[in-house]
Structure 1
Amino acid sequence: MNIQPASRMNLVQEYYFSTKLKQIADMRAKGIDVLNLGIGSPDLPPSPETIEALAETAKNPKNHAYQSYVGVPAFREAFADWYQTYFNVTLNPVTEILPLLGSKEGIMHISMTYLEAGDEVLVPNPGYPTYRAASLLAGATVVEYELSEDRGWLPDLKELAKKDLSKVKLMWVNYPHMPTGAKANKAFFEELRDFAKNHNILIVNDNPYSFILNDNPMSILSVEGMKDVALELNSLSKSQNMAGWRVGMLAGKAEYVSNVLRFKSNMDSGMFLPLQLAAVKALQNPKSWYDELNAIYKVRQQTVFKLMDLLECEYDTAQTGMFVWAKIPEKYTSGYELSDLILEKSAVFITPGGIFGSAGDRYIRISLCAEVSLFENAIMRIKD
């Protein structure tokens, strides 16, 4: 037999971290103690109330059946309250919120709902690789818009407007931005809203990092008139330390959300009820929860800055999110070279910025999802 994968698979490669984790596992199997500073998977637990809610509700034998495709009302209402409390955004929990099995799932659902052959989609460079992969798998043509440090990692919308955008249907944005940690402000979002209206483009903001090392969480939907042109993805993976739980949401105009639901309802059978009920507790965490979490991340960030200093890298001390993004010295040809060198010589893995696009080639990224002692260990190894 000779069963070949579909031709669309030629458009994408295995996710970089998937292949890198295999290499790290192989090194560890050979007795090499690799320190992984790459992936942003929170090492801290969710709140005790969240874990207790999961354990208690899972004991109920009636809580293990198939669930609604749109989640239980309490779950959607908790998301709506969360957005009202922290983003000053009013959402109808019945029509304007769609729970997701993680926001990464939402990226694919949105792409399959709105994109097809002949469509173009604007994707940031550097940016999260899944935007590109999902767009290509949906049959669309990817059009990169380059971000630069000089512009604070914000797109130049005036320059973009000079291009032929007649085939562009969707634009991915991601603020606070991953991998750079850059923030957007109201003035930029207003300009983005007008850009979208003028060119008939649906904006999707991916917003999972707004609570990490950021004193002023912001939703794109807080800007007047934005619901007419934009959707927003959010997640509990980072803000509530629930990455493995796969709990996310899509918010926006009822018409846009219901279109995505039509696709999603053919892909899964709803979220495990105890997960939903536990997520309600997580969304009710007080502001002090975020303050305590950020106090830990701040100490870690300061230690990683020392590591970056050791590597002679340049960085913005005001960056947000659970990573540190830094520009490498001129003596290295790329972030890949520096990353490979450190892995080979010090058994420390640091993410090369080039995996997020060519505009990231001269950068590296370190995750803050590890104890300070691990970063100090990495510093000692690199010094040696």
Structure 2
Amino acid sequence: MQTAKRLDGIGEYYFSQKLREIEELNKQGKQIINLGIGSPDLPPHPDVIKILQEESVKPNVHGYQSYKGSLVLRKAMSDWYKRWYNVELNADTEILPLIGSKEGIMHICMTYLNEADEVLVPNPGYPTYRSAVKLAGGVCVDYDLKEENNYAPDFAALQASDLSKVKLMFVNYPQMPTGQASDKKLFEQLVAFGKKTGILIIHDNPYSFILNENPMSLLSIDGAKDCVLELNSLSKSSNMAGWRVGMLSGAKERIDEVLRFKSNMDSGMFLPLQLAAAKALSLGKDWYDGVNEIYRERRKKVFELLDLLNCTYSTEQVGMFVWAKIPAKYKTGYEVSDEVLYGSNVFITPGGIFGNAGDGYIRISLCAPVERFEEAISRIKK
């Protein structure tokens, strides 16, 4: 049996492969400290878990759910956008709950891309953008994000290029993997670019609450709904990565278009999970402050670890990772990652998995207790 041509050039996700390798090393007694993946190790708020428990035992909550999600959840998402981003969203027409925002990336590509349609993809950037575009039959067109330009797109260079086949542009601020914070001027430029070119801007926004004092939505810019769809998620901000709760927001017409595809792919989310997610979205500033205080202490240890490796980095970056430039003696971040993994039994992510513009960097996740970072530092010193 041969696989479909759409899988040509699509490999297994890097972290899927690496986790298997780490599992084998652990079987050999290596006890690898994994500082690579951004999977929150902290639990959701106790009240969120309580709602899930209470609702799950009810006899009438186990059937198929609405393809558009519960109105309770959509209203909670709308209120959350208004409270934190000052964005007005109609809960009935401008929000689509997702089984994780990662599936939303695929839904968008399948909704809008025909064979050979082009998509602007950030380099470095989240690898799923690239694979989703290819699986939908599209063509990835890299736009480089450079440190000297604060990891913003070079709009002049983009507008001077041939954009005639470009339908979508993926953007992500706070940016992953670089940790570049969002910025109103940059957001205004993105909306202006989308309007001028007719390109639909897809903003992936899961990191806006992590070590970031100014959460922003691209939809807060005047006229953004004309050219923007925004993905968001509870995975990072609410410590609910395994719960798979995301959302897509934008103009009614765009939401309806994506729903045409999504409604043929799944049958809705478990209702108690939706009600628990609505509770998570109602939490106040003290919740986010508490989570960030923990991440702040962890980040200090990451800086210490990076200093030990003679890496350079910005202390102004936000999100749940630290992005760092490798020393000149190494050719790529893969060399650093392998040296630390096989020499010290500590896994850190090579920047090259996010595109060749990341070859000279590594990325460390904050998703481990302080004690694990201290142990990693001790191992590397030895």
Equivalent in the alignment of 2:310: 312
Q: 1:225-240 counterparts in 2 under 5 A?
A: 225-240=223-238
2:323 pairs, out of 317, 325, 328, with: 325
Distance 2:117 2:8 in 1: 19
Alignment of 1:40-51 (within 5 A): 40-51=38-49
Residue pairs, 1:217-296, within 5 angstroms: 217-296=215-294
Q: Within 1, Cα distance between the matches of 2:182 and 2:113?
A: 26
SS of the aligned residue for 1:365 comes to: strand
Q: Which has the higher mean CA deviation after the structures are superposed, 20-29 or 185-194?
A: 185-194
> 1:194, CA displacement in angstroms?
1.3
Identify the residue that residue 205 of structure 1 maps to in structure 2. Answer: 203
How many angstroms apart in 2 are the aligned matches of 1:77 and 1:101?
17
**For 1:58-207, what aligned pairs fall within 5 Å after superposition?**
58-207=56-205
Q: 2:11 & 2:125 partners in 1: Cα distance?
A: 16
Offset of residue 187 of structure 1: 1.1
SS in 1 for 2:88: coil
CA distance in 1, matches of 2:182, 2:276: 31
Provide the rounded CA distance (Å) in 2 between the counterparts of 1:118 and 1:140.
Answer: 5
What secondary structure sits across from 1:237 in the alignment? Answer: coil
Helix, strand or coil at the partner of 1:239: coil
Cα distance in 1, alignment partners of residues 162 and 198 from structure 2: 12
Deviations 1:213-235 (A, max 9, x none): 00000000000001100000000
3-state SS of 1:232 partner:
strand
The CA deviation string for residues 315-358 of structure 1, in whole angstroms up to 9 with x for no partner, is 00010000010000000111000000110100000000000000
Retained in 2: the 8 A contact 1:231–1:250?
yes
In structure 2, how many angstroms separate the alpha carbons of the residues matched to 1:290 and 1:230? 26
Distance 2:86 2:247 in 1: 17
Q: 1:183: Cα distance to partner? A: 1.4
Residue of structure 2 equivalent to 1:35: 33
Deviations 1:71-90 (A, max 9, x none): 11111000000000000000
Q: What letter corresponds to residue 252 of structure 1 in structure 2?
A: G
Compute the displacement of 1:293 (Å): 0.5
Alignment-mate amino acid for residue 208 of structure 2: S
TM-score of the two chains, using structure 2 as the length reference: 0.99
- Counterpart of 2:9 in structure 1 is 11
Give yes or no for contact 1:8–1:137 (8 Å, CA) kept in 2: yes
Partners of 1:29 and 1:383 in 2: how far apart?
Answer: 24
**Equivalent-residue separation in structure 1 for 2:248 and 2:118 (angstroms):** 22
Instruction: Give the whole-Å Cα distance in 1 for the aligned partners of 2:320 and 2:360.
Output: 20
Which whole-Å deviations, capped at 9, do the CAs of 1:240-278 have from their partners, x for residues lacking one?
A: 000000000000000001100000000000000000000
Tell me which amino acid in the other structure corresponds to 1:318.
E
Cα distance in 2 for partners of 1:267, 1:376 equals: 44
Q: Percent identity?
A: 63
TM superposition score normalised by structure 1: 0.99
Report the AA paired with residue 166 of structure 1: S
Q: Distance in 1 between matches of 2:51 and 2:116?
A: 47
Distance 1:245 1:191 in 2: 34
Please say if residues 353 and 360 of structure 1, whose CA atoms lie closer than 8 Å, have aligned partners that are also in contact: yes
Instruction: Check conservation: 1:11, 1:137, Cα contact below 8 A.
Output: no
The offset of 1:173, in angstroms, is 0.2
Quick one: which amino acid aligns to residue 323 of structure 1?
Answer: F
Contact 1:154 1:184 in 2 (8 A): no
Answer yes or no: is the 8 Å Cα contact 1:83–1:91 preserved in 2: yes
Distance (Å, rounded) in 1 between the aligned partners of 2:114 and 2:381 = 51
Once residues 350 and 184 of structure 1 are traced to their aligned partners in structure 2, the CA distance between those partners, rounded to angstroms, is 25
Aligned CA RMSD, in angstroms, stands at 0.5
2:301 to 294, 300, 303: 303
Separation of aligned partners in 2, 1:370 and 1:275: 25
Counterpart Cα distance in 1 of 2:193 and 2:208: 23
Counterparts of 1:11 and 1:341, CA distance in 2: 28
1:24 paired to 2:15: no
How many residues are paired up? 382
Distance 1:17 1:164 in 2: 34
Note the C-alpha offset of 1:61: 1.1
Distance in 2, Cα, partners of 1:226 & 1:156: 20
Structure 2: runs of 5+ lacking an equivalent: none
Q: Using the alignment, how far apart are the partners of 1:370 and 1:103 within structure 2?
A: 23
Cα deviation, 1:41-75, whole Å, max 9, x if unaligned, reads 00000001100000000000111000000111111
